Amino acid sequence: MMLLPEILLASAERFGPKLAVQDPTAEASYATLRDDALATAAGLRALGLARGDRVALVLPNGLEFVRAHFGVLLAGGISVPLDAAITAANARRIIDACGATCLLSHAAALDRILPALAGSSLVAVAGTGGAAPGAKRTLTLAALRALSAPRAFLDGVGPDAVASIMFTTGSTGAPKGVCLTHANVLAALRNICSYIGYTAADREVVVLPLSHNFGLGHLYCNLLNGGAVFTDHGLTRVGRVLEALERFGATGFPGTPLGYGLLLDKYAPVLAARGARLRFAVINSAPLPPERTAQLQALLPQLDIMVYYGLTEASRATFLSLSRAGPGYYRSVGAALGTTEIRIDASDGLSAAAGTCGEVLLRGPTLTPGYWNDPAATAAVLRKGWLHTGDLGYLDAAGHLFLTGRLKDVINVGGYKVIPAEV
């Protein structure tokens, strides 16, 4: 079975000079990206990184993030991508929790974070060099790539090895590190690619954070199929993003309901003009209101609007084309993909009948093996092979999932269970 970094190695052989990734200031072909990622891996190994060591990434969307992430994977390490705007205190908590031995960052973030890492043996790498407090050593990302080491990095790394740790914040605010294996992520990619139908002709504008599964998954899908990605950091420079849709010839533009709401409310004519080549848009992170679906479809009639359901712990469990399904399914998040199984757990612990609400349980190859160094939290959500999501919903007779709320929001009123969202 393929490992995640082998996506890049294989595609570089097939698509060598073809554009792979572009950001507002730089771009790289498949061959160049592979060479840069291998050089990053060699540099990390030269610094002493061992197989399974964790490397924290605090980098904004851009080519440097992609080089760093694949470099860590090619070195046999575990990538721990963090939000580019993370506070120093949160960075320290997560770095301590996962035992990261190296931090790959950019100069501004490193200046912000390093004072909180006093006493750490971390090796810090950023866009600027020189000594910095709290780090064993600092050097530039370019200098890292100039280091050398033997390149048989993936020996001993198997599909069930952890590839990434994605940290989420629970209701207590304590970070939980979701472990994702190479096999987990590749299973999710197969689900996404089979439903969307990615090809080498696709060009996608991705402004979702690459530190999260949603944005990172779209990067992976394009690299797996020979497509190209333009990436930027969110919609803070909305004019630049809209210009990129046209200039880059974007066929895909994943986003959130909030982001698309902004574009529809303030930039609809520009979106219609510059998004004329868009083929599909995957929208997630929160429910897409039906009226927004109708508004977006009217603005871009050719657009295939898609939604999905998944958690960091079980990515892309369902998928649905709202454009093909029609208004009757605008509140659904789709049916199970691939070998993913969905079960609705009734109050008596049995599987609920179609149309009956209960907790959504998931099972399949995308499920996390657990939380990093947290067996209690793992046991609380993974039971008998099923992930207990904490989400409430029901399946219709055709297996389409409809979400109704969260289990923690259920109120007991005189012995009756009431879901506030349904009142």
Question: Which helix H or strand E contains 179, and what residues bound it?
Answer: strand 175-181
* The predicted structure's pLDDT at residue 171: 43
Q: Would you say residue 83 has pLDDT above 90?
A: yes
Q: Would you say residue 277 has pLDDT above 80?
A: yes
β-pair partners for 361: 343, 388
- pLDDT (mean) for 272-291: 95
Q: H-type helices in 47-87, by residue range? A: 63-74
DSSP-assigned letter for residue 41: H
- pLDDT (mean) for 226-248: 97
| Angle, vertex CA 227, rays to CA 223 and CA 230, nearest 5 | 90
Amino acid (one-letter) located at 349 = G
- pLDDT (mean) for 242-266: 98
* The predicted structure's pLDDT at residue 149: 62
Query: Which residue is listed with tokens 């990538």?
Result: 79
Domain ranges of the chain: 5-179, 235-422
Do the domains 5-179 and 235-422 sit in the same CATH topology, yes or no? yes
| pLDDT grade for 169, boundaries at 50, 70 and 90 | low
What pLDDT digit, counting tens, does each position of 366-398 carry? 999 999 999 999 999 999 999 999 999 999 999
Percent of the chain with pLDDT over 70: 89
Homologous superfamily (CATH) of 235-422 is ANL, N-terminal domain (3.40.50.12780)
Q: Would you say residue 56 has pLDDT above 50?
A: yes
* The predicted structure's pLDDT at residue 132: 46
Q: Would you say residue 125 has pLDDT above 90?
A: no
* The predicted structure's pLDDT at residue 152: 59
- Radius of gyration from C-alpha coordinates of the chain: 22
Flag the least confident range among 233-247, 292-306, 345-359, 406-420.
406-420
CA within 13 Å, CB half, 234: 9
| pLDDT grade for 150, boundaries at 50, 70 and 90 | low
- pLDDT (mean) for 283-308: 95
* The predicted structure's pLDDT at residue 409: 62
- pLDDT (mean) for 123-148: 64
Question: Which helix H or strand E contains 205, and what residues bound it?
Answer: strand 203-206
More confident residue, 373 or 417: 373
| pLDDT grade for 420, boundaries at 50, 70 and 90 | low
Total-model pTM: 0.91
Longest dimension (CA), the chain: 69
Q: How many whole angstroms from its chain centre is CA 206?
A: 11
Residue 331 CA to residue 352 CA, distance in Å, equals 20
Residue 107 CA to residue 144 CA, distance in Å, equals 14
Amino acid (one-letter) located at 207 = V
Provide CATH code, domain 5-179: 3.40.50.980
- Asked whether 222 and 246 are in contact (CB, 8 A), the reply is no
Residue 323 CA to residue 294 CA, distance in Å, equals 9
Q: Among 223, 209, 161, which Cα is nearest to 12's?
A: 223
**Strand extents, DSSP E, 312-419:** 314-321, 332-336, 341-345, 358-363, 370-371, 382-383, 386-395, 401-406, 411-413, 416-418
Give 341's contacts (C-beta < 8 A, 6+ positions apart): 362, 363, 364
What pLDDT digit, counting tens, does each position of 182-220 carry? 999 999 999 999 999 999 999 999 999 999 999 999 999
Look at residue 58 and give its three-state secondary structure.
Answer: strand
CA 311, 254, 229, 126 dihedral sign is negative
Look at residue 199 and give its three-state secondary structure.
Answer: coil
Flag the least confident range among 149-163, 325-339, 381-395.
149-163
Flag the least confident range among 38-42, 126-130, 199-203, 326-330.
126-130
Q: Among 309, 297, 362, 303, which Cα is nearest to 334's?
A: 309
Q: Would you say residue 423 has pLDDT above 60?
A: no
| pLDDT grade for 128, boundaries at 50, 70 and 90 | very low
* The predicted structure's pLDDT at residue 412: 40
| pLDDT grade for 137, boundaries at 50, 70 and 90 | low
Average pLDDT over the chain, rounded to whole? Answer: 90
